[in-house]
């Protein structure tokens, strides 16, 4: 048992944000088990697994290799450590690519159903973007209805999952010099599902045993995600729900309300959460909430679906991935509504300690102990209303003695889509390029990814972002990293005071924060498009630009394709958590060094965010010097 000063200490050890700390304390007092307790119970974690030297691919295994060079040096099939480590990496990376891309496919399917008039509640919101993307696909737009165009576009995009034509249309957005590198090394993605299925084929016993060949395919699979599945998810979501524009809102657990029905929207796909945003506008539901004694309905987001809602509708964001159990532990959540990805299976158990109802909605992601309300495009709005009704019905069950809503929400500015950044610059990236050439902005770094219980929650993201802006490096963010910096107050124009004087002047001139929230994890595609446009303007490859990437607290398999498509596109990327590859020197050397000769970028692993900033700055300086600036 913890004493109260121990609880405070423990909470400060676990999380950076004070509202998170307060609820961690409450969760400990309430005896709630969270990821931090379960992480402690897993220690020490299996060293073979951490090094990636364990193979469980076939029934002759599991096999494991002695990491110190002794015996066994081969699996039963004869696979050596390089094969096993690279194959495990390809396997994990493909899972991540599949998650992003399958999410993308669902958005395209709803676009199609909407174009055919079969969906409920959806409409084509950004016609301009629809036409622009359709033209890239060679689809005629003149004199045609938006529904007709959308239908052709959706069918064109769906075809790219299997790939008949042998390349992914959106990868054509990359600069010629970058595409030439992909062609030279045979890693141009041919189709989204195709690369993932081929990856699954290659990891089967007795298929690909050459670690270089395996890693090249990992790059191709990652590119199919970044320039394919994820980019499709982003662009189709913009077409359906609007391309984000800068706006202000609020972040942290203090966004929960003391006297309204609190509904937390957690997961990834905006298809569900956007309908819930519409549903709460229903006057009958508003009235119903009042009848049940609440002052209204309070929607808050969590994780990436929260980022989608924040970016487009200004819905406040309650937190990132390690906040999911904490939100429930406030005792103030009537319903947590989830679709898929990053939903802890522990959630119903946590909810069981309070009055919270957990609603699962996807056929792909059922969790025992939750209420399942299947969500489909044909009945989307009706289901969304039913879900809200269920939350309202649960409001009288809130036990006020067990409620604690911490602190005050932090103001945030979000909504920096690529289009809006460009617009703010006057229509082209020329002013950004000039600022980079003049050294007002030394470079740009994308900080992305999750939280990980091994690292004090948000510490990696926030420390790295602060270090970089101090050095006049502009930061762009997505995912849980962006939420972390939102909680820390870095997504505000005033945060420019923490930046170096030159970056500060640029931010003040444009009225923007030094850390730009660009969206959810699939929206890393926005960063790719931005990098590509800048490179094209200069006639160079993405790998020539003074850019960097970082995932200081990543945990998810999805972070592997993200990091890999960054590197394969030419962006040097620093990971704060080591990937499971340290069992193979050859794999490690290729990813940390060898790739430099291919894409002019590589991976580095550096858990200390200040040292990570040093590495990123060094790399940016190297690229600046090579550009002669």
DSSP string across 547-591? EEEEETT--STTHHHHHHHHHHHT-EEEESS--TTTT-HHHHHII
Q: Which is nearer to ligand XCC, 133 or 342 (CB)?
A: 342
Total residues interacting with ligand XCC, rule: CB under 6 A: 13
Residue from the set 301, 331, 479, 546 that interacts with ligand XCC by CB under 6 A:
479
Nearest approach in angstroms of CB 582 to ligand SF4 is: 18
490 or 590, CB closer to ligand XCC? Answer: 490
In order of 34, 256, 626, the CA distances from 8 in angstroms are 16, 22, 50
Q: Report in angstroms how near the CB of residue 457 gets to ligand XCC at its nearest.
A: 11
d(CA 488, CA 477): 14
Partner whose footprint covers residue 321, from ligand XCC, ligand SF4, none (CB < 5 to 8 Å by kind):
ligand XCC
Find how far residue 512's CA is from the centre of its chain: 22
| Rounded distance between C-alpha atoms, residue 576 and residue 554, angstroms | 7
In the complex with ligand XCC, the residue whose CB is nearer, 229 or 546, is 229
Q: DSSP E strands: which ranges in 303-458?
A: 317-319, 335-338, 357-360, 371-372, 410-414, 443-447
Q: How many residues of this chain interact with ligand SF4, rule: CB under 6 A?
A: 14
Is-contact 424 484, C-beta < 8 A? no
We find the least distance from the C-beta atom of residue 480 to ligand XCC, in angstroms, to be 3
CB of 47 or CB of 369, closer to ligand SF4: 47
| DSSP summary character for residue 390 | H
Least distance in angstroms from the C-beta of 555 to ligand SF4: 24
From the number of C-beta atoms within 10 Å of its C-beta (0-12, 13-18, 19+), residue 510 rates as middle
Residue in 90, 203, 253, 342 binding ligand XCC, rule: CB under 6 A: 342
Question: Cβ of residue 87: shortest distance to ligand SF4, in angstroms?
Answer: 8
Kindly tell me which of 205 and 505 has the beta carbon lying closer to ligand SF4. Answer: 205
Residue 594 binding: pick among ligand XCC, ligand SF4, none (C-beta 5-8 Å cut-off by kind) = none
Beta carbons of 343 and 265 less than 8 angstroms apart: no
Q: Which of 90, 93, 575, 99 is nearest to 303 (CA)?
A: 99
Using CB under 6 A as the binding rule, the residues of this chain from 187 to 206 that contact ligand SF4 are 205
Contacts of 555 (CB under 8 A, 6+ apart): 321, 449, 450, 451, 452, 577
Residue 236 annotated as part of some ligand binding site:
no
DSSP 236-254: HHHHHH-----EEEEESGG
Give me the residue label for tokens 């500060």. Answer: 504
CB of 342 to ligand XCC, least distance (A): 3
Report the site for ligand XCC in 305-324 (rule: CB under 6 A): 320-321
Q: Least CB distance from residue 53 to ligand SF4, whole Å?
A: 10
Min dist CB 65 to ligand SF4, Å, is 8
Q: Is 54 annotated as a binding residue?
A: yes
* Residue 304 binding partner per list ligand XCC, ligand SF4, none, with a CB distance cut-off of 5 to 8 Å that depends on partner kind: ligand XCC
Positions in 45-104 near ligand SF4 (CB under 6 A): 55-58, 60-63, 75-77, 79, 84
Is residue 406 a contact residue for ligand XCC (CB under 6 A)? no
Contact pick of 16, 336, 492, 521 for ligand XCC (by CB under 6 A): 521
* 8 Å CB contact between 319 and 326: yes
Selection from 376, 333, 336, 370 nearest residue 355 by Cα:
333
Instruction: Give the number of residues written for the chain.
Output: 629
* Site residues (CB under 6 A) for ligand SF4, limited to 553-592: none
Q: Which residues are annotated as a binding site for [4Fe-4S] cluster?
A: 46, 54-55, 58, 63, 77
Q: Which residues are annotated as a binding site for [Ni-4Fe-4S] cluster?
A: 268, 304, 342, 450, 480, 521
Instruction: Using CB under 6 A, list all residues that contact ligand XCC.
Output: 268, 303-304, 320-321, 342, 449-450, 479-480, 521, 556, 558
Instruction: Using CB under 6 A, list all residues that contact ligand SF4.
Output: 55-58, 60-63, 75-77, 79, 84, 205
């Amino acid at each position: 048992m913890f004493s109260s000063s121990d609880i405070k200490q423990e909470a400060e050890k676990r999380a950076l944000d004070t509202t998170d700390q307060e609820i961690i304390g409450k969760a400990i007092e309430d005896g709630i088990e969270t990821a931090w307790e379960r992480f402690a119970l897993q220690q020490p974690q299996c060293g073979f697994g951490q090094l990636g030297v364990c193979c469980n691919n076939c029934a002759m295994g599991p096999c494991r290799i002695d990491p110190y060079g002794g015996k066994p040096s081969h699996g039963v099939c004869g696979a050596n450590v390089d094969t096993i480590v690279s194959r495990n990496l390809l396997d994990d990376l493909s899972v991540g690519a599949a998650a992003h891309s399958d999410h993308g496919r669902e958005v395209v399917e709803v676009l199609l159903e909407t174009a055919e008039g079969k969906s409920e509640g959806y409409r084509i919101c950004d016609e301009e973007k629809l036409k622009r993307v359709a033209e890239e696909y060679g689809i005629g737009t003149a004199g045609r209805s938006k529904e007709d165009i959308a239908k052709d576009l959706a069918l064109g995009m769906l075809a790219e999952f299997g790939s008949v034509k042998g390349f992914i249309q959106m990868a054509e957005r990359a600069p010629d010099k970058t595409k030439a590198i992909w062609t030279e090394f045979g890693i141009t993605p041919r189709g989204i599902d195709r690369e993932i299925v081929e990856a699954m084929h290659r990891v089967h016993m007795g298929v690909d045993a050459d670690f270089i060949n395996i890693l090249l395919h990992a790059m191709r699979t990652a590119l199919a995600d970044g320039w394919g599945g994820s980019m499709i998810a982003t662009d189709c979501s913009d077409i359906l729900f609007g391309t984000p524009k800068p706006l202000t809102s609020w972040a942290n657990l203090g966004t929960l309300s003391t006297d309204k029905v609190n509904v937390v929207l957690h997961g990834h796909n905006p298809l569900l959460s956007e309908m819930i945003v519409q549903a709460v506008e229903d006057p009958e539901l508003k009235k119903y909430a009042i009848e049940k004694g609440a002052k209204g309905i309070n929607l808050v987001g969590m994780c990436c679906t929260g980022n989608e809602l924040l970016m487009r509708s200004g819905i406040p964001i309650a937190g990132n991935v390690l906040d999911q159990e904490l939100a429930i532990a406030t005792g103030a959540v009537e319903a947590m509504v989830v679709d898929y990805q990053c939903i802890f299976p522990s959630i119903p158990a946590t909810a069981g300690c309070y009055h919270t109802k957990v609603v699962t909605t996807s056929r792909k992601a059922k969790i025992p102990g939750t209420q399942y309300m299947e969500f489909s495009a044909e009945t989307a709005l009706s289901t969304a209303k039913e879900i809200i009704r269920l939350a309202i019905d649960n409001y009288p069950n809130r036990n006020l003695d067990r409620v604690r809503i911490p602190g005050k929400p932090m103001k945030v500015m979000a909504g920096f889509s690529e289009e809006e950044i460009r617009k703010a610059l006057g229509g082209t990236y020329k002013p950004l390029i000039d600022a980079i050439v003049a050294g007002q902005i030394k470079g740009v770094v994308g900080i992305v990814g999750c939280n990980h219980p091994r690292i004090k929650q948000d510490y990696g993201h926030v420390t790295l972002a602060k270090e970089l802006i101090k050095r006049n490096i502009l930061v762009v963010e997505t995912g849980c990293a962006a939420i972390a910096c939102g909680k820390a107050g870095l997504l505000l124009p005033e945060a420019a005071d923490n930046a170096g004087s030159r970056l500060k002047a640029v931010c003040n001139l444009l009225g923007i924060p030094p850390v730009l929230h660009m969206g959810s994890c699939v929206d890393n595609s926005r960063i790719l498009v931005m990098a590509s446009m800048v490179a094209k303007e200069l006639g160079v490859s993405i790998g020539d630009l003074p850019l960097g990437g970082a995932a200081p607290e990543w945990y998810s398999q999805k972070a592997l394709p993200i990091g890999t498509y960054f590197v394969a596109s030419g962006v040097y990327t620093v990971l704060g958590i080591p990937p499971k590859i340290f069992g193979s020197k050859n794999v490690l050397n290729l990813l940390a060094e060898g790739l430099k000769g291919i894409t002019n970028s590589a991976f580095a692993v550096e858990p200390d965010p200040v040292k990570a900033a040093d590495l990123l700055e060094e790399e940016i300086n190297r690229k600046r010097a090579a550009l002669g600036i």
